[in-house]
Chain A
C-alpha cells in the first residue's frame, strides 16, 4: 500500500488544512461570546465589568429641517444593550449645546415634537440612555424655517443643464473628464456617469459640477437660513484602490465652495446609496474650494439678503493609482434652500 509522505505533502492541502484551522479558531472565538458582560467569573479583580455595557444610542434623524407648524419625530435606532433594560431621558439646548434642560415626560425611545415653531430653530436635543448603571448619549439637531423650502433637484440630468470645471488637487494637474446621461439603471430611471482620467503624475482629481438651470438670488428671493443637500451616488469601479467622494457645491461671487459634512466625506459604494444627506447647512459649514480667498471679516459664502446670486451643484473627488480612469454616477441630486 502506498504511504503518504508527509514531508512532501503538496502546498495546496497544507494551505487548505491551515485555512480550515483558522476558520475553526475564529468561529471558536466568536462562538465563545468573548466573556459576555455581567458574568462575575469573567470580571477581573479591581475592574468594573459593567462599564463594558455602556449604552451607545443612535438617534435618527441626527439632523432635520422642518417648517413651522409641522411635526418632528426623533427615534432611537440603535443601542448595544437590551432595550428592556434601558431608561431614556431627552433634554434640549437652545444655546448650541452648552446647557441642557430635561424635557418633562420625555422618557421613552422616541421624542415627538407636535408642532415646531421658530423658537425651536437651532435646537439641539440630547438623548441619555441608561442601563446597568452606565449611560450613553446621542444628539439630534433641529432647524426650523418659517416658510417652505425652495427645491432645486435633478433626477434626469440633461447634459445641457450642467457645467463641469476640473480642479487641480494639491500639486497635481486636473483630470480630464467625460460625462454621460444614462437613460436607465439609476435610482430609478436616468442617471449621470462621470469618468475622470487622472493625470499621469496625479493620484487624485476633482471636478466641480454646477447646475445652470436655476440659481438663487438672496437679494430678490430672501436671505438663506440654511440649505439641505442630498444625492445618491455609486462608484462604478470595483478595485479597492479607487475611491470617490462627493459633496455639495455652491458657487457665489466667483468662488466655489463645498459643504463640509459633519463627519468625514463618505466614500461612494459600488451599489447605489444615499451618498450625501446633509441637512441644515449654514454658511460656516462651507469651505472655499476654488476662487479668490475670502477677505477678513467677509461672509463666505454670504447667506444674507445682500449676498450675490448663488448656483448649486456637486463636487466629486476621485483617488486611485496615478493616471487611472475612475468612473462613478449620481442620481437624485437635490438642494433645498430654506429662507429666513
Chain B
C-alpha cells in the first residue's frame, strides 16, 4: 500500500465521489494513515508497559521481556507501575485490532470489549480460589500441552489484583474513546463505513 500521496477531497456529491477512482485512492491513503497511527499509538502504549517490567519489576520473571541492567531498579513509575501493564495491554491491542477492522463504532466496541474480557479473564484466573483447579489441570491431560502448561503456570504463579481488573477495563474504555475521537476528528475528511 502506498501511503505517500493523499488526494485532496472537495465538497461534491459523495455518491459520485465514491465512483471516482481517485477518491477511492484517497480513502485508501486515509485508511492507511489511520491504521499506521493506531499501530503507532498502540506500540507507544505497549512500550510503556514493557518499560514497567524493565524499570520497576524483575524483568527476568516475564518470559518475553529481557532484563536490561541499566534500567533495572529505576522504579520510574512508582505506585502507577503496579497496574500500568494491565492498563496498556487492552489499550494497545484494542488499537491494533481496530487498525485492521473496518471503521465504525460497532467494530471498535467489539475490539475493546474483546480485549477487556480477555484481560479481565486472565486476571481473574489468577485468583487463589482457582489455584486448585489449575493445579489439577496442570497434572492432568492439559499439562502435556506446552501452551496450556504455560497458561496454567501463568494462572498459578501470577498475582490476582482487583485493581488490575479495573485497570484493564479502563484501558479498553480509553481505547474505545480514543478510536471514536479519532474517527470524529477525521469525519470531515473521510467517509465512515
Q: A39 and B139 in contact (CB under 8 A), knowing A5-B27, A33-B154, A33-B157?
A: no
Q: Mark A29-56, 1 if CB is under 8 A from B, else 0.
A: 1111111110101111101010111101
Contact A34 B159 (CB under 8 A): yes
* B residues contacting the other copy or chain, number (CB 8 A): 62
Task: Chain A residues near B185: list those with CB within 8 A.
Answer: none
Within 8 A of A (CB), among B108-167: 114-115, 118-119, 122-123, 126, 128, 131-132, 134-136, 138-139, 141, 150-151, 154-161, 163-164
Q: Which residues of A contact B (CB under 8 A)?
A: 1, 3-7, 14, 17-18, 21-22, 24-37, 39, 41-45, 47, 49, 51-54, 56, 58, 77-80, 269
**Once bound together, how far apart are the Cα atoms of A41 and B123, in whole Å?**
17
Contact B159 A32 (CB under 8 A): no
Q: Which residues of B contact A (CB under 8 A)?
A: 1-2, 24-25, 27-29, 31-32, 35, 46, 53, 56-58, 61-65, 75, 79, 81-83, 85, 89, 93, 96-97, 100-102, 114-115, 118-119, 122-123, 126, 128, 131-132, 134-136, 138-139, 141, 150-151, 154-161, 163-164, 193
Q: How far is the CB of B127 from chain A (nearest CB, A)?
A: 8
Contact A78 B139 (CB under 8 A): yes
Task: Chain B residues near A47: list those with CB within 8 A.
Answer: 161
Could you give 14 example pairs across A and B, Cβ below 8 Å?
A1-B2, A4-B1, A18-B100, A25-B118, A29-B119, A34-B157, A34-B159, A44-B161, A52-B126, A52-B160, A54-B131, A58-B135, A79-B135, A80-B156
Task: Chain A residues near B193: list those with CB within 8 A.
Answer: 7
Contact B119 A41 (CB under 8 A): no
Contact A37 B1 (CB under 8 A): no
Contact B62 A42 (CB under 8 A): no
Interface centre among A31, A41, A56, A78 (most CB of B within 10 A): A41
Q: How far is the CB of A172 from chain B (nearest CB, A)?
A: 31
Q: A39 and B161 in contact (CB under 8 A), knowing A3-B2, A18-B97?
A: no
Task: Chain B residues near A58: list those with CB within 8 A.
Answer: 135-136, 139
Task: Chain A residues near B118: list those with CB within 8 A.
Answer: 25-26, 29
